[in-house]
Structure 1
């Protein structure tokens, strides 16, 4: 945007001062030598020597302009504006270059040293600066002092000049003001349609600045005036954004349509319009709009998101084919999206290839490696999967959110493998990064329960319920753990009953309730509840529970059939093996 370079911190602003070249510094240094006090070499011998009459002039650092400038640059390199200001303040007194005084003034203003700033401005003026050239700095100083009248005079002088960047400088002054309300009032007073130049970017920048200052009515006024004056795509688009934020979606759509008529190939406008349509719930219209015209990585990403939202498998498959034929730079930027699209179509090998092409500096690099680990695990390459996750953990030591995610993924994979000790360790490590995280406590509680460490499991689930009182999953997990251990069945009944009331159709909750009925000796109720849960979802643990209840009812043949079905679902089911050992010793 037109104003981008103006919105920066004082430290960033003065990084540009480092661009003094060696030639400039040398010129300043040589130019100053003639005017500075000199020290002469002391006589060391009474006997004349060759070259004895040659005197070498060596100004001390306090009177050496180049030394002061270099010291100022060193301070800027360390973002030490106060020290840099001090050195530039000395340098301007030794130099006849007005630019040194200008920089001294800017630094003094940045650190709010108003007296030093005034001295620098006076020096700058003595060295021949014109009032219009000094107007920006004087306005900044006036605003820092709270002198609105003087700031206005200087800003009027600045914007009334013929300087090419006058309005850009005007915006910089206001953005840097400590009193944003004061800056907003000056904006409205000076940046009027009658005074703004014939530069569309200036109009848009002032409207955006008004919006930033909370002066929405002014922002809308300038946006609409710019639209009427310039009738360009960008003015229509900005005015549309104003209308959309005011709740006038139809008006916003109409203006964006006008913008697209002006620039039908503008990818940014098409994305904005499609985003507006999707926010309004018109996902089909948004997708249709993006299908035509040039395609870039952002457009492909939004199209994929819309197709996924609409559960349009055909559209996702077509996108995958189209994106593979896109320009190399688009494919490179879309490597993660290509991996996702391949994975959605169960093309796991292709997904791994695309994820492997996601660059280290890509925003999706971590996610690509995480998905790759999941795919490798699903392919039975367990060691490779865990190795990749361990590498992710090492790479994410300074990124707590990613570190937590990598550990949790590792833990959940170990949990699925029934390697409960490793799962507990991974969950515990993640909890060191994010103490009392509900998801991690829940996962570790499951690992403890499945690993036979009932007391620790109960402790985690109880802690989770303290953090999230009434949480359905935690209530169900704690209730089931108590029931499975045949401990405190009344408490288990209260907990699972509460979960059942909240999720009456949840097979996991039904399994807990059926198993509790079994522990309480209500075999017929247990069998019926577990049959319903088994019919709703063919889960190995539910099947094992149903089979055991049927076996206890004397329905061994029916129970054996259920056990066979469980074995097909999960040939390595530990709960099935343990149950069969108990039932068929």
Structure 2
């Protein structure tokens, strides 16, 4: 056994299970075969007259096969242990391997029994297993590790320190790794920390930077930040590698010293400029500090991979730098095939942001089915299809997603929601309500879905259903400002429950005093209440702050009712220019100009 390993998930060779099965099959075949041979022997020989019936039977007929009982069947115990492990029954596995080690000369079995006994906190079984392991030839390092681990488990500090000292004194090439395993597996963090700081001192650590970094990392995990930093600084000064600088930088960042951490990362990157991981880490921290240009310059130099392109794109997007986004897109489009393949979703996103819609569709189509972004790519493709005038294809693609992800609620909900949103854009409100309803069957009482369906119901005049959805939403989220505004406007537009509408819109207006949509609701409510001058004032302000078609229709109607037909007609003309097919405008003009 190459080193004692008390891993909670005990793993055996694949041959153990398969070998056991083959053994049982052979044993059964041999036993049954002997019976057949005995019968055949008796029937094949002619009956000899004159010989007493007490003559001796055939030798094979008398033969028996010794079958050991299960407690003394090595492979049966190994199989029992393996089955117990597969069921996470460590106690049963420990018992089985404890028996198996006594039936075998294989030290590996004793090592496994030791690990299991310690894992279930059975010191007596662990000691028996260690003694058996020693008898079968465990190395001094393996024994010292096991005894140290048992001592740590029992809280015997002096014995643990003694055994760990013996472990390190063996000179085993894996001694420090084994030392770390003992402490990592301890349930007593204080004891583990004490042993670490007393034994893993800079003057005792080997001339190997990996050992220094491992002990520093262990100290950090145990909450001994000062020790971790001391060892990290010592490794940095002694070895001066990029890895030691990077780890020392990480510790400073963990402890809130951003300036010191960035300084060390910069030095690490200088020491190994081709190290992509270092460049990514340093550039990411620069980006978090708002130093987008410096981070971008750092990433542009040296080797490129999918991660560097992704971070460069993110930095450019945060900086709203469309020129750099275009540059990254062009470079990534011509990168090696493996990089493009891994970056297909990113390429689709970049193409979409840069308004290269047809190219975006091609990239999204290349996202592999096993990619984490495969579902998102299909959603984005459907949205792009609709924006390009291919609504039928968009809804067809979403229908396929709804079938493919029928057993995955999160994805299924999103597929229905996007389908509903596209129907809203197309002003196909009945289909939108159906899609929202399907989504609500997947995630009942989802606030966003209730809000969307309420809007769709209102658009097709199903006011009671719209009001019911908005009321339910406000029961779930009483402070939802958009829902308050939507319910208030729906009531006001229908000319019903105006006092309640006034209360709802007033609350929304207080929360978002500069929101044009809420101002529109308030102005329309004033119109329904007969306050034409106040309605005109509020709606005119909302119209001027942002030329929204629905606000314009409302303002035009109020002006018309005030007798200001010319001004109203000017507003209507502007709305028609903005949205030639605006349904609200068409219905309003029919009422006002029959």
Q: TM-score, normalised by structure 1?
A: 0.89
Larger mean CA deviation between 227-236 and 411-420 belongs to 411-420
Secondary structure of 2:203 counterpart: coil
Secondary structure of 2:68 counterpart: coil
Query: Structure 1 residue 7: deviation in Å?
Result: 12
- 1:287–1:303: 8 Å Cα contact kept in structure 2? yes
Change (3 A) 1:109 1:201: same
Aligned to 2:224: 215
Provide the rounded CA distance (Å) in 1 between the counterparts of 2:464 and 2:441: 20
Match of 1:150 among 138, 155, 159: 159
2:534 paired with 1:525: yes
Q: What are the Cα deviations for residues 465-523 of structure 1, in whole angstroms up to 9, with x where unaligned?
A: 34444433222222212211112323323332333333333221221122112112222
Match of 2:191 among 166, 171, 182: 182
2:296 paired with 1:313: no
Aligned to 1:487: 496
Provide the rounded CA distance (Å) in 1 between the counterparts of 2:531 and 2:320: 44
Match of 1:419 among 428, 434, 439: 428
Aligned to 2:97: 88
Provide the rounded CA distance (Å) in 2 between the counterparts of 1:164 and 1:295: 37
2:452 paired with 1:443: yes
Q: What are the Cα deviations for residues 419-460 of structure 1, in whole angstroms up to 9, with x where unaligned?
A: 333333333443444444332332232223223232333333
Match of 1:548 among 548, 557, 575: 557
Query: Structure 1 residue 129: deviation in Å?
Result: 2.4
Provide the rounded CA distance (Å) in 2 between the counterparts of 1:472 and 1:53: 93
Aligned to 1:516: 525
Aligned to 1:18: 13
After superposition, residues 368-447 of structure 1 pair within 5 angstroms as: 368-447=377-456
* Cα RMSD for the two superposed structures: 3.2
Provide the rounded CA distance (Å) in 2 between the counterparts of 1:270 and 1:379: 39
Provide the rounded CA distance (Å) in 2 between the counterparts of 1:578 and 1:351: 38
Query: Structure 1 residue 96: deviation in Å?
Result: 1.3
- 1:271–1:290: 8 Å Cα contact kept in structure 2? yes
2:173 paired with 1:164: yes
2:380 paired with 1:366: no
- 2:141–2:175: 8 Å Cα contact kept in structure 1? no
Q: What are the Cα deviations for residues 123-166 of structure 1, in whole angstroms up to 9, with x where unaligned?
A: 21222324422222222222222333322222222222222222
- 1:18–1:76: 8 Å Cα contact kept in structure 2? no
Query: Structure 1 residue 309: deviation in Å?
Result: 0.7
After superposition, residues 238-253 of structure 1 pair within 5 angstroms as: 238-253=247-262
After superposition, residues 105-116 of structure 1 pair within 5 angstroms as: 105-116=114-125
Q: What are the Cα deviations for residues 201-248 of structure 1, in whole angstroms up to 9, with x where unaligned?
A: 121122112111222111111111111111110111111112223332
- 1:567–1:573: 8 Å Cα contact kept in structure 2? yes
Aligned to 1:265: 274
2:323 paired with 1:325: no
Secondary structure of 1:281 counterpart: coil
Change (3 A) 1:538 1:23: closer
2:347 paired with 1:347: no
- 2:6–2:115: 8 Å Cα contact kept in structure 1? no
- 1:6–1:171: 8 Å Cα contact kept in structure 2? no
- 1:6–1:168: 8 Å Cα contact kept in structure 2? no
Secondary structure of 1:10 counterpart: coil
- 2:20–2:76: 8 Å Cα contact kept in structure 1? no
- 2:17–2:79: 8 Å Cα contact kept in structure 1? no
Secondary structure of 1:89 counterpart: helix
- 2:219–2:227: 8 Å Cα contact kept in structure 1? yes
Provide the rounded CA distance (Å) in 2 between the counterparts of 1:433 and 1:387: 20
Change (3 A) 1:465 1:343: same
2:286 paired with 1:282: no
Provide the rounded CA distance (Å) in 2 between the counterparts of 1:517 and 1:8: 76
Change (3 A) 1:55 1:499: closer
Aligned to 2:46: none
Provide the rounded CA distance (Å) in 1 between the counterparts of 2:5 and 2:366: 35
Secondary structure of 2:372 counterpart: coil
Aligned to 1:583: 592
Change (3 A) 1:345 1:284: same
Larger mean CA deviation between 424-433 and 139-148 belongs to 424-433
- 2:140–2:170: 8 Å Cα contact kept in structure 1? no
Q: TM-score, normalised by structure 2?
A: 0.87
Query: Structure 1 residue 65: deviation in Å?
Result: 1.2
Give the gaps of 5 or more residues in structure 2.
Answer: 43-54
Query: Structure 1 residue 47: deviation in Å?
Result: 4.5
Secondary structure of 2:345 counterpart: helix
Query: Structure 1 residue 266: deviation in Å?
Result: 0.8
Larger mean CA deviation between 224-233 and 572-581 belongs to 572-581
Give the gaps of 5 or more residues in structure 1.
Answer: none
Aligned to 1:299: 308
Provide the rounded CA distance (Å) in 2 between the counterparts of 1:6 and 1:493: 75
Aligned to 2:145: 136
Match of 2:583 among 574, 578, 583: 574
- 1:527–1:546: 8 Å Cα contact kept in structure 2? yes
Size of the alignment, in residue pairs? Answer: 571
Larger mean CA deviation between 135-144 and 455-464 belongs to 455-464
Change (3 A) 1:6 1:282: farther
Provide the rounded CA distance (Å) in 1 between the counterparts of 2:448 and 2:169: 61
Change (3 A) 1:279 1:543: same
Aligned to 1:338: 347
- 1:6–1:175: 8 Å Cα contact kept in structure 2? no
